[in-house]
Structure 1
């Protein structure tokens, strides 16, 4: 079955007799426009012409340019290159990324998840590693140029094994995120595959990468805007492994703050920006209010849960349960909101409504140009 959810940017639509076709109009109002009702005509042209009267009400309020809510919807650069069939990090890919950055800014996103290891060129040099952050700078500048100005979220340093591995969610030890190492001439030297984070290989990398990253962020004046993800949604079962990684990061890059989507209470001293599930915040409000007093910044997140009486962004929810999400931020003084699925499209994003992996649907192919 189909939901009338995507807004298709079509100049013309063919209809059979008796069919109905809704049309969505977006009107951009200048900041200095007086409040009140405005009237006009909408012309529909086909084999014939029809004029429809329209009424626009302008409220006496102006949205500020500065965004105070820290809004994070995770973008996947890989999914963009895959969907549009372009080479990753080619000029075509960067043009597409700019289009999606513009879309994010139009919807007031102020935080950008950043695939930090993929955007860093790592070179080997006499047993040591050197780091080139030019692609990282280009990524940051692109999003800031389009208006996504606020938090830079560094992608995960570690994670769980693939879901095909039995017990993948409850593994006691996280695995490092793979990365490529290049020769001086730019050719591939080797791929560092995932290892247990207790491996000396992992600490050797962190001991070189994190100080270099911290120094670079200081040089470009963005250290205060940067937050580092460690491993997604840690639980009690792998909390000690998570603590181990954070201790490494704090040892080698003590100025870098951390952020994580997590409901694991024993980790709050290891996470600067705590992001619990909405229902966990509701059930443990006093706990999180106390964390605010102790210096934690507190956001909240939703994903495939919570459900039931809780607001979320499911396609079959009443609209009020979607729109009220950020009123929760306002009422309870929560600094941000995180959702994992900006563009995690399936093979048929316009037909698959069983999940919530994309906000928005894919933009038209010609948008980037």
Structure 2
């Protein structure tokens, strides 16, 4: 649309398009889709200022006209810098491999400020509809109108959303993204577990819960994760410890507050932080205690994990923790960790650590991210979490209730969510989780805002690779905002994957698993698996639409 001395171009796009400021749009318009009752649906509108206009056009208003029974949210897709977008030996399924600005954070659009258009640059707005769980089925036009600061209409797009009269079922998958409470305290400059800190913790928990994160890393002691050997992270210890000679007593007041907070926001599952250090279980985590009136560290890097002192501590601590769990009815919702990502060379130390806790935790799931089948084969972990590029051996051996995870190392032929990857590569994991009948998914980076090994804090708006350590997009999916988390494209798209999984499970209840798999894998010569990762956006969108059509047909068959 032209207005005066400029033109204003717009185009409706799916949530899977990444709009770069410095390149032409590659994707065709996408202006109609379907969704289930209770689903969160997102789409984008790209826009560009053209013509002889040489200055940025500011205070552009955006408003929506629709009868859609949903809560609607408009956000502006911001650009985040990436100095390290990928490893040098990346596969071919990336959008770019060069440093630069990548679309990622989703900023609120303030009514008094609107959005801005920079001449010659494509930008986009992100529109989210939280559809009512009892929304009436039918087609709902959505008109999105752009107006200049003077109130002149300068652009308009129309999107049509078809609501299917079936409610999206509850999420069965257990999903954890590690919440780093110390990063919150550091960034917002508040004392740990002060009232101000608890406010920030709650806001980040609430956002996590709204995006399908139903399990939370619970720091009974400061989590021994991504910490330089000999170094330490700020103390975030929920359990009070009093040491009197060889005897210990424990206070669970802060842990109870944490549990209550989780319950308030629908986070039903707790994963208690690791009882031994990362990458081998050779040492104890940092544990602080009061002894003779002095608050001090009693265990840490100097502690031999297999030594008598730490084993004696755990022999007193774990029964006390389990009593707390029973008293509060948390038996079916509690999960434990030994050590994160041990390798084959760590088998002896992991075996020792596993044996120390096994006598106490025989009735509880112990889950650890590890990718060597030998740990399970030798009975050292009952609930292994292999990486997505190592899961096949575990699947072939029929391990029940299998989980999976990915991080910076899973970047060839598998799903992931780096800045430079197409969003379809993020979202396809929902279908992969369904095909693999996976019970849980873990990721380490909800809000890791430190450098690698936690040597120093970083500004997530300037450093997105943990200090040139991990490809941008691995370490966090939320940014710090003035009032709480700023969500990202990657967080939203991953939640769409979880909704795809739930839709597939609903369809399975109607037509059976075999027919669902046939529908999902249509158009895939190699089928679908964790190491067979389709990257065609049109294919994925068409499969989800096919699922929705099949659900609609299933409703007719059932007479609903």
Interval containing the TM-score (normalised by the shorter chain)? 0.7 to 0.9
- Pick aligned residue for 1:356 from 443, 463, 473: 473
Q: Does 1:157 align with 2:275?
A: yes
- Pick aligned residue for 2:402 from 284, 298, 301: 298
Alignment match, 1:255? 363
Alignment match, 1:332? 436
Q: Deviations over 1:125-150 (max 9, x none)?
A: 3541001111112112212211222x
Please state whether the residue corresponding to 1:105 is helix, strand or coil: helix
**What TM-score does the superposition give when structure 1 sets the normalisation length?**
0.87
Please state whether the residue corresponding to 2:103 is helix, strand or coil: coil
- Pick aligned residue for 1:135 from 230, 254, 259: 254
Q: Give the Cα–Cα distance (whole angstroms) in 1 for the partners of residues 156 and 276 of structure 2.
A: 56
Instruction: Map 1:177-188 to 2 at 5 A.
Output: 177-183=285-291, 187-188=294-295
**CA deviation after TM superposition for structure 1 residue 219, in Å:** 1.1
Q: Give the Cα–Cα distance (whole angstroms) in 1 for the partners of residues 150 and 330 of structure 2.
A: 57
Contact 1:214/1:256, CA 8 A, preserved across alignment: no
Instruction: Map 1:88-99 to 2 at 5 A.
Output: 88-99=192-203
Contact 2:204/2:484, CA 8 A, preserved across alignment: no
Alignment match, 1:163? none
Contact 1:71/1:338, CA 8 A, preserved across alignment: yes
* TM-aligned CA distance change 1:308 to 1:366, over 3 Å: same
Alignment match, 2:316? 208
Deviates more, 1:268-277 or 1:245-254: 245-254
Q: Does 1:315 align with 2:419?
A: yes
Provide runs of 4+ in structure 1 moved above 6 Å: none
Instruction: Map 1:1-369 to 2 at 5 A.
Output: 1-11=100-110, 12=113, 13-49=115-151, 50=153, 52-60=156-164, 61-64=166-169, 66-117=170-221, 118-125=237-244, 127-149=246-268, 151-160=269-278, 174-183=282-291, 187-194=294-301, 195-268=303-376, 269-282=379-392, 284-287=394-397, 289=398, 291-292=399-400, 297-346=401-450, 347-353=458-464, 354-367=471-484
**CA deviation after TM superposition for structure 1 residue 16, in Å:** 4.4
Q: Higher RCO, 1 or 2 (CA under 8 Å, sep at least 6)? A: 2
* TM-aligned CA distance change 1:58 to 1:141, over 3 Å: farther
Two-structure CA RMSD over aligned residues (Å): 2.2
Q: Deviations over 1:325-351 (max 9, x none)?
A: 121111111101111111112513223
* TM-aligned CA distance change 1:312 to 1:87, over 3 Å: same
Q: Give the Cα–Cα distance (whole angstroms) in 2 for the partners of residues 214 and 148 of structure 1.
A: 19
Contact 2:275/2:339, CA 8 A, preserved across alignment: yes
Deviates more, 1:319-328 or 1:343-352: 343-352
**CA deviation after TM superposition for structure 1 residue 249, in Å:** 1.0
Q: Give the Cα–Cα distance (whole angstroms) in 2 for the partners of residues 307 and 53 of structure 1.
A: 36
Q: Give the Cα–Cα distance (whole angstroms) in 2 for the partners of residues 31 and 121 of structure 1.
A: 42
Q: Deviations over 1:228-262 (max 9, x none)?
A: 10011112111121121121112244333311011
Q: Deviations over 1:102-129 (max 9, x none)?
A: 1111111111111112110001235410
**What TM-score does the superposition give when structure 2 sets the normalisation length?**
0.59
Q: Give the Cα–Cα distance (whole angstroms) in 1 for the partners of residues 136 and 315 of structure 2.
A: 58
Q: Report which of the two has the higher share of strand.
A: 2
Q: Deviations over 1:274-329 (max 9, x none)?
A: 11011111355312x2x22xxxx310110012222111122211222111112111
Q: Give the Cα–Cα distance (whole angstroms) in 2 for the partners of residues 230 and 351 of structure 1.
A: 34
Alignment match, 1:164? none
Say how many residue pairs are matched.
349
Please, which runs of 5 or more residues in structure 1 have no aligned partner? 161-168
Deviates more, 1:310-319 or 1:39-48: 39-48
Higher gyration radius (CA) = 2
Q: Give the Cα–Cα distance (whole angstroms) in 2 for the partners of residues 256 and 122 of structure 1.
A: 23
Q: Give the Cα–Cα distance (whole angstroms) in 2 for the partners of residues 303 and 75 of structure 1.
A: 15
Please state whether the residue corresponding to 2:270 is helix, strand or coil: strand
